[in-house]
Amino acid sequence: MEADYVVIGAGSAGCAVTFRLTEAGKSVLVIEHGGSDWGPFINMPAALSYPMGMKRYDWGYLTEPEPHMNNRVMACPRGKVIGGSSSINGMIYVRGHAQDFDIWAEMGADGWSYADVLPYFKRAETWHGDAGDPAFRGHDGPLHITRGERKNPLYQAFIESGAQAGYGRTDDYNGYRQEGFGAFEMSVWKGKRWSAASAYLKPALARSNCDMVRGLVQRIEFKEGRATGVRLSDGTLIRARAEVILCAGAINSPKILMLSGIGPGNHLADKDIPIVADRCGVGQNLQDHLELYVQYAASQPVSIAPYWSLWGKALVGAQWLFNKTGLGATNNFEACGFIRSNAGVQYPDIQYHFLPIAVRYDGKTPPGGHGFQAHTGPMRSPSRGDITLASNDPAAAPKIRFNYMSHAKDWEDFRRAIRLTREIFATGPIKDFVDHEIQPGNAAQTDAALDAIIREHAESAYHPCGTARMGQRDDPMAVVDPENRVIGVKGLRLADSSIFPLIPNGNLNAPSIMVGEKAADHILGRRLPAENRETWIAPDWQAAQRESHAKAAAAE
């Protein structure tokens, strides 16, 4: 039970770290509390609503009552399975905007600008896109990135309507230009979910210098301020000759740090935990994306609603089981959009996930048959929450408070996102498919009415991050330095979405994997050369909210 490196968590970043360290000849032991990813619910892309919420695959975390959301207790699913949340997520692949990472660097994460991280995004992937600049993309990495066939006419209608509303098109939102409407990308390969376990962990475990241990982490062990190993709840000690690398995610990484004596001193003392390093930033800076499903009933029988019946699901399942094709082979999120909410916003702060059915994330459909929806919400909320310990029992869930919608700006931004969405659905070819609005509903027009809908119906996009943020070593709120080293101790690194200083503009799986790729190089003392590639920023962003507005102003 000893290796050069002990990796805690076989999730998105942990799998990438493990793959790269073993590739370099280092011995690695991976600790994972979850089990196998075998089975149709994980591997069939269209079944994405099932593993999320299944005790076998999900930690099943819930928030504390959210005070600005009618005191709702909200779901916070996290993957408890090899591959972590990449094995239960929606398989949507979004790197984030280039400006996100430049802001990281400005916030103290030296060496994490877009020029620095782009080579690691590229190293991670094999891209199968049909349009865009291949210079921005990877072509021989472990992670296969594909696009759906977009056979349903609603996809192209949505993209065209977004373009006609003045936002333009993007050939590849993960490349030169994020802003605009275009095809979504997904971590699906040959009709199956292509998780971090498939891409990284299983090839690593096939090597003689890699093994995996099942168990619940009780704490990281220290000797004279240096991490020496990991103690499991059954008493087992796994020793690390070089370093321990914590990759347990935005909820469990701060929990394990605090159980190990790294965190806010007063909080640790309250839980009778001996203090190893008093770091007040552990568990703070919790961020997420909140979204509303803007839903419409369809005027024509064009949605995929018939396949949500018992017989429809049986047909889709049979086709996928035997051929790995059809509606079962896609997450059905095949069109998207990224827009700016106002003039003076430099890069997109609203994202759209389009789905050719009106359905909740848990798979339940509203009455009425055919419909479609766009998931939307602000990407850069100023609200911040925290993770704290409920007790010093490693089996106890931590307390999760997102503190959603705690700023006035949140409400202004969310209302704006809903109204801009309605405008898009009243534009171009998509309007011909609209019968009526299901949610928020035509009656919800005033600020107060929209606020009531947001409080009751907005849901997490399941993008928690930031709870052990990266920064300079003299920053009292920073938890890790730009080399992924936990500040205040030796021999311990942290690599997952908890280190994000600011939530990126999009879904979090791609940047989490990038963090694993880059952290492995920091551990190995190497670095890929930076790539200074120019990316698209709307030329009139200071004066115009979208391209058509800029053109109209110029014409005047």
- Secondary structure (3-state) at 334: coil
Whether the per-residue pLDDT at 123 is higher than 90: the answer is: yes
Distance CA 130, CA 153 (A): 18
Q: Does residue 551 carry a pLDDT above 70?
A: no
* Residue of 406, 418, 178, 382 lying closest to 287 (CA atoms): 382
- The residue type of 78 is R
- The DSSP letter of residue 64 is P
CA pair distance 53, 17, nearest whole angstrom: 27
Give the tens place of pLDDT for each residue, 359-412.
Answer: 876 666 666 689 999 999 999 999 999 999 999 999 999 999 999 999 999 999
Q: Write the single-letter amino acid at 395.
A: A
Q: 250-289 burial string, b = 16+ CB within 10 Å, else e?
A: bbbbbbbbbbbbbbbeebbeeeebeebbbbebbbbbbbbb
Nearest one of 251, 313, 245 to 523, comparing CA atoms: 245
Query: Using 50, 70 and 90 to split pLDDT, how confident is the model at 556?
Result: very low
What number is the average pLDDT over the span 71-84?
98
pLDDT at 367 (0 to 100) = 61
For the cut 50, the answer to whether the pLDDT of residue 485 exceeds it is yes
* Catalytic residue annotation: 463
pLDDT above 90: residue 309: no
Measured between alpha carbons, how far is residue 111 from residues 102, 104, 141 in Å?
Answer: 9, 9, 22
The residue ranges of every structural domain in the chain are 2-524
Measured CA to CA, the distance from residue 326 to residue 470 in angstroms comes to: 42
Q: Helix, strand, or coil here: 529?
A: coil
Closest CA to 90 of 50, 118, 138: 50
Q: Is the Cβ–Cβ distance between 128 and 147 less than 8 Å?
A: yes
10 or 556, which is more confident? 10
CA-to-CA dists, residue 122 to 326, 438, 517, 537, angstroms: 29, 41, 10, 21
Q: Would you say 81 is a known binding-site residue?
A: yes
Q: How far is CA 124 from CA 20, 36, 240, 509, in A?
A: 10, 23, 26, 12
Establish how many alpha carbons lie within 13 A of residue 37's alpha carbon, considering only the half-sphere containing its beta carbon. Answer: 28
* Confidence at residue 362, expressed as pLDDT on a 0 to 100 scale: 64
Q: How far is CA 125 from CA 99, 331, 332, in A?
A: 21, 19, 21
- 512 and 285 Cβ atoms separated by less than 8 Å: no
Rounded to an integer, the average pLDDT of 18-35 is 98
453: left (phi over 0), alpha (psi -120 to 50) or beta: alpha
Residue 371 phi, psi dihedral angles, 5° rounding: -170, 180
Q: For position 389, what pLDDT does the model report?
A: 98
Beta 371-378 vs 188-189: how paired, if at all? unpaired
Percent of the chain whose pLDDT exceeds 90:
94
What per-residue confidence (pLDDT) applies to 555?
47
Whether residue 29 is predicted with pLDDT greater than 50 in this model: the reply is: yes
3-state secondary structure at position 358: coil
Q: How confident is the model at residue 53 (pLDDT cuts 50, 70, 90)?
A: confident
DSSP code of residue 67: T
pLDDT digits (tens, 9 = 90+) for 280-290: 999 999 999 99
Give me the count of residues in the chain: 556
Do the beta carbons of residue 59 and residue 245 sit within 8 Å?
A: no
- What is the CATH architecture assignment of 2-524? 3-Layer(bba) Sandwich (3.50)
CB-CB contact of 211 with 201 (8 Å): no
Write the pLDDT tens digit of every residue in 412-437.
999 999 999 999 999 999 999 999 99
Averaged pLDDT for residues 204-222: 98
Please report the DSSP string for 169-190 in residue order.
B-S-TTTT--SEEEE-EESEET
| Angle between helix 114-124 and 509-524 (nearest 10) | 100
Best CA proximity match to 407, nearest among 386, 378, 382: 382
Task: Look at residues 412, 32, 334 and name the one whose alpha carbon lies nearest to residue 204.
Answer: 32
Q: Read off φ and ψ for residue 470, nearest 5 degrees.
A: -85, 140
Residue closest to 137 by CA, chosen among 40, 215, 471, 128: 128
Of 184, 194, 178, residue with least CA distance to 124 = 194
Distance CA 96, CA 121 (A): 11
3-state class (DSSP) for residue 123: helix
Residues 6+ apart with CB under 8 A from 235: none
Cross-strand partners of 143: 125
Instruction: DSSP letter for 44, please.
Output: S
pLDDT of residue 366: 64
Could you tell me which residues are beta bridge partners of residue 217? 232
Cis peptide before 51 (omega within 30 of 0): no
